[in-house]
């Protein structure tokens, strides 16, 4: 398969760019932030996304979706990244849709996927517990209790967890923190007794939640996939999330870069456009190389995931690590090259820096994925 977008994918890219750029530019994020919006994203916009087919992009046809893949999800996420659009696309349309489509029972699929694709259900994946992404270190427990399980533990960085209608929770049914076996995924109603949700407004004005589970009773039907064997399912879902967030980071980094190049062509000092200075030209050119190389690595990982190829895991580690280092460089150079203006809240570049920081932490930063790759390559 050629490492370029197909004609259909290019059309999707054009329509996503048009819709998101028009309806949810950076000003949209500012407005939500400055009005301290209770939801943190626009439900009206999410419905418009659903009508465009974005909510159901990864949902199979029979549940009202379009059954597309990671490349298409990445295309939408790149535009979300370019515009810093707060949207449940990642939590719901990517992570939850993937988990439910892959492992849901017939009943679970028909209960949730149709509503999800229609934009009527927000779902959130609850994995992380500590300060850093370490899925194998999951310590939250799910003990057998009557006909079902009793959940105890705490989750953090549950993206959109503050407004979710459904939680997908990783918990330990056996084994100890650090072990690959013994993990199970559960579908949990956030209104269940014993759940405490604390909205966390983050540095980038996007939202997640810290969620406390105290003796939360769930029945056996709430298990997603198989008991004790959820580790592989979780890793597969996370890999889709990683590859797709990498596209968001490419969009975020590229937009910060493009605004910076424009600034270099407009700002004058010492009687010259600052873009004439070789010190800045070479840094801009280097950053351009980093972005283009990362873009290729990200598309490769998404294609391999869509093909179900065995090399996909290593390619995802490469893509997410590269996206992390590249977007970090892009936003740092953006602020520095904008000079004092880059430090002001009035200019948008700082917002890109904030979003990039959050995306780095989502599902493993560059160091985490470098370590992953080293393990996969046997050193």
Partner 1 sequence: METSEGNLDHFRSETRSWLEANCPAEMRRPVIKEEDVFWGGRNAHFSSAAQQAWFERMRDRGWTVPNWPERYGGGGLGPQQTKILREEMAAIGARLPLSSFGIWMLGPALLKYGTEAQKLEHLPKIARGEIRWCQGYSEPNAGSDLASLQTRAEADGDDFIINGQKIWTSYANYADWIFCLVRTDPAAKKHEGISFILFDMTSPGVSTKPILLISGKSPFCETFFDNVRVPQSHVVGQVNRGWDVAKYLLQHERAMISGMGERGAGRPLGQVAADSVGADEQGRLDDPMLRGQIAAFEIDEAALACAAERFTDMAKAGKAHPAFSSAMKYYGTELNKRRHELLMSAGGIDALEWESGRSHEGERARAWLRTKANSIEGGTSEVMLGIVAKRILELPGA
Angle among Cα 137, 138, 139 to the nearest 5 degrees reads: 105
Among 44, 278, 310, 346, binds partner 1 (CB under 8 A): 278
Task: Determine the interface stretch with partner 1 among 181-189, 205-213, 235-243, 296-304 (rule: CB under 8 A).
Answer: 296-304
CB-hemisphere CA count at 13 Å for 260? Answer: 29
Closest CA to 41 of 76, 103, 91: 91
Q: Does 340 bind partner 1 (CB under 8 A)?
A: no
Q: Does 14 bind partner 1 (CB under 8 A)?
A: no
- Closest approach, Cβ 164 to partner 1, in A, equals 33
Instruction: Please enumerate in sequence order all residues whose Cβ is within 8 A of that of 330, keeping only pairs 6 or more positions apart, or say none.
Output: 252, 253, 254, 256, 257, 287, 290, 291, 352, 356
Helix (H) or strand (E) holding 208: strand 207-219
Q: Does 271 bind partner 1 (CB under 8 A)?
A: no
Among 321, 327, 359, 362, binds partner 1 (CB under 8 A): 321
- Closest approach, Cβ 188 to partner 1, in A, equals 34
User: Is-contact 309 243, C-beta < 8 A?
Assistant: no
3-class DSSP state of 277: coil
Number of residues that bind partner 1 (CB under 8 A): 46
Among 48, 195, 202, 273, binds partner 1 (CB under 8 A): 273
Kindly list the distances between the CA atom of residue 119 and the CA atoms of 54, 69, 334, in Å, as whole numbers in the listed order.
Answer: 9, 18, 35
Task: Determine the interface stretch with partner 1 among 32-40, 60-68, 145-153, 292-300 (rule: CB under 8 A).
Answer: 292-300
3-class DSSP state of 353: helix
Q: Does 203 bind partner 1 (CB under 8 A)?
A: no
Q: For the window 222-261, what string marks contact with partner 1 as x by the rule CB under 8 A?
A: ---------------------------------------x
Q: How far apart are CA 24 and CA 318, in angstroms?
A: 30
Pairing state between β 123-126 and 166-172:
parallel
Of the pair 7, 44, the CB lying nearest partner 1 is at 7
- Closest approach, Cβ 85 to partner 1, in A, equals 26
Residues in touch with partner 1 (CB under 8 A): 2-4, 261, 264-265, 272-273, 275-276, 278, 280-282, 284-286, 288-289, 292-297, 299-300, 314-315, 317-319, 321-322, 325, 366-367, 369-371, 373-375, 377-379
């Amino acid at each position: 398969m050629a490492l370029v977008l197909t004609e259909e994918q290019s059309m999707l890219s054009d329509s996503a760019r048009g819709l998101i750029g028009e309806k949810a530019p950076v000003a949209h994020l500012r407005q939500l932030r400055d009005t301290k919006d209770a939801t943190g994203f626009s439900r009206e916009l999410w419905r418009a996304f659903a009508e465009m087919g974005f909510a159901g992009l990864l949902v199979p046809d029979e549940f009202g979706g379009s059954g597309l893949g990671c490349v298409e999800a990445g295309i939408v996420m790149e535009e979300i990244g370019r515009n810093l659009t707060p949207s449940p696309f990642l939590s719901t349309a990517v992570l939850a849709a993937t988990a439910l489509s892959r492992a849901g029972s017939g009943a679970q699929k028909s209960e949730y996927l149709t509503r999800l694709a229609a934009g009527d259900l927000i779902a959130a994946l609850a994995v992380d517990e500590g300060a850093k992404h370490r899925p194998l270190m999951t310590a939250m427990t799910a003990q057998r209790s009557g006909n079902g399980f009793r959940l105890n533990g705490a989750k953090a960085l549950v993206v959109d967890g503050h407004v979710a209608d459904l939680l997908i929770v990783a918990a330990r049914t056996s084994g100890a923190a650090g072990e690959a076996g013994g993990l199970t995924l559960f579908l949990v109603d956030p209104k269940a007794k014993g759940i405490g949700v604390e909205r966390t407004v983050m540095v980038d004005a996007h939202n997640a939640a810290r969620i406390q589970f105290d003796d939360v009773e769930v029945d056996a039907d709430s298990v997603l996939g198989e008991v004790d064997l959820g580790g592989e399912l979780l890793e597969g879902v996370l890999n889709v999330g990683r590859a797709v967030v990498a596209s968001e980071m490419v969009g975020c980094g590229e937009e910060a870069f493009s605004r910076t190049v424009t600034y270099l062509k407009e700002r004058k000092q010492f009687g010259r456009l600052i873009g004439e200075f070789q010190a800045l030209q070479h840094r801009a050119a280097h950053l351009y190389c980093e972005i283009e190389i990362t873009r290729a690595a990200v598309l490769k990982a998404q294609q391999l995931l869509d093909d179900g190829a065995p090399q996909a895991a290593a390619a995802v580690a490469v893509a997410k690590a590269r996206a992390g280092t590249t977007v970090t460089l892009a936003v740092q150079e953006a602020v520095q090259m904008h000079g004092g203006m880059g430090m002001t809240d009035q200019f948008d570049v700082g917002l890109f820096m904030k979003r990039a920081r959050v995306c780095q932490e989502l599902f493993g930063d560059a160091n985490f994925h470098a370590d992953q790759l080293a393990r996969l390559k046997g050193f």
